Amino acid sequence: MSHYKPYPAYKDSGIEWIGEVPEHWKVVSLLHLFNIKAGGDLKKDFYSEEKTEEYSYPIYTNSIKSNEAYGFTSKPFFKANTITVTGRGEIGYAIYRDHEYDAIIRLLVLTPKNNKPCKYFAYCINSILVFFGGNTAVSQLSTEQISPYKIFCPPFPEQQSIVSFLDRQTAHIDALITKKTRFIELLKEKRQALITHAVTKGLDPNVKMKDSGVEWIGEVPEHWEVTRIKWLTKLRIDRRNDSPEGYHYIGLEDIEPETGKLKPTENNSRQSEESNVAVFFCGDVLYGKLRPYLKKAIISEQEGICSTEFLIIRPVSVSPRWLQHWLLTSEVTQQIEAGCFGAKMPRTDWEHVSSIFMPIPDSTEQATIISALDQQTARIDLIIEKTQRSIDLLRERRSALITAAVTGKIDIRGSL
CATH number at residue 190: 1.10.287.1120
Q: Which bin fits 115, alpha (ψ -120 to 50), beta or left (φ > 0)?
A: left
Mean pLDDT on 368-372 = 97
Q: Are strands 47-48 and 71-73 parallel, antiparallel or unpaired?
A: antiparallel
Identify the weakest region by mean pLDDT among 256-265, 328-337, 362-371.
Answer: 256-265
Same domain, 400 and 350: no
Give the per-residue pLDDT at 416. Answer: 59
Label residue 241 by pLDDT band (50, 70, 90).
low
- Terminal CA-to-CA distance of the chain, rounded, Å? 15
Q: Which spans in 253-362 are helix H?
A: 320-327, 330-338, 350-354
Residue-number span of the structural domain to which 273 is assigned:
225-360
pLDDT tens, 287-344? 999 888 878 899 999 899 988 889 999 999 999 999 999 999 999 999 999 989 988 8
Compare 247 and 70 and report the one with higher pLDDT.
Answer: 70
Long-range contacts of 139-145, Cβ-Cβ distance < 8 Å, separation of 24 or more: 139/88, 139/89, 139/90, 139/91, 140/87, 140/88, 140/91, 140/106, 141/85, 141/86, 141/87, 141/88, 141/91, 141/92, 141/108, 142/38, 142/87, 142/108, 143/36, 143/37, 143/38, 143/108
Nearest-10 crossing angle of helices 156-201, 330-338:
90
Q: Give the list of residues 6+ apart from residue 213 with CB closer than 8 angstroms, or none.
A: 226
Residue 152, burial from CB neighbour count under 10 angstroms (0-12, 13-18, 19+):
buried
Is residue 93, in this structure, part of any structural domain at all?
Answer: yes
| Residue 113: CA count within 13 A, CB half-sphere | 8
Chain-centroid distance of CA 29 in Å reads 33
pLDDT tens, 31-52? 999 999 999 899 999 999 999 9
Give the per-residue pLDDT at 246. Answer: 64
Same domain, 235 and 204: no
Is residue 44, in this structure, part of any structural domain at all?
Answer: yes
Q: What would you report as the CA-atom Rg of the chain, rounded to the nearest whole angstrom?
A: 28
pLDDT tens, 205-216? 999 999 999 999
Same domain, 193 and 259: no
Same domain, 186 and 290: no
**Residues 74/46, Cβ–Cβ less than 8 Å:** yes
CATH number at residue 140: 3.90.220.20
Alpha carbon distance 174, 398 (integer Å): 9
Is residue 220, in this structure, part of any structural domain at all?
Answer: no
Total number of domains constituting the chain: 3
Same domain, 365 and 330: no
Q: Is the pLDDT of residue 173 over 60?
A: yes
Is residue 16, in this structure, part of any structural domain at all?
Answer: no
**Residues 273/303, Cβ–Cβ less than 8 Å:** no
Q: Is the pLDDT of residue 107 over 50?
A: yes
Same domain, 200 and 316: no
Q: Is the pLDDT of residue 268 over 50?
A: no
Label residue 252 by pLDDT band (50, 70, 90).
confident
Same domain, 349 and 313: yes
Same domain, 159 and 258: no
Give the per-residue pLDDT at 269. Answer: 42
As a whole number, the mean pLDDT across the chain is 90
Same domain, 117 and 235: no
Give the per-residue pLDDT at 263. Answer: 80
Same domain, 276 and 390: no
In percent, the amount of the chain with pLDDT more than 70 equals 93
Mean pLDDT on 335-357 = 91
Last residue of a domain, one of 153, 169, 198: 153
Is residue 95, in this structure, part of any structural domain at all?
Answer: yes
Same domain, 293 and 248: yes
Same domain, 272 and 374: no
Last residue of a domain, one of 112, 127, 153: 153
Is residue 412, in this structure, part of any structural domain at all?
Answer: yes
**Residues 85/146, Cβ–Cβ less than 8 Å:** yes
Give the per-residue pLDDT at 138. Answer: 73
Long-range contacts of 364-369, Cβ-Cβ distance < 8 Å, separation of 24 or more: 365/202, 366/318, 366/319, 366/321, 366/322, 367/319, 368/203, 369/198, 369/199, 369/202, 369/203, 369/322
Is residue 94, in this structure, part of any structural domain at all?
Answer: yes
- In three-state secondary structure terms, 199 is helix
Last residue of a domain, one of 102, 134, 153: 153
Mean pLDDT on 218-223 = 96
- In three-state secondary structure terms, 290 is strand
Alpha carbon distance 69, 387 (integer Å): 31
**Residues 320/312, Cβ–Cβ less than 8 Å:** no
Mean pLDDT on 273-298 = 85
Is residue 185, in this structure, part of any structural domain at all?
Answer: yes
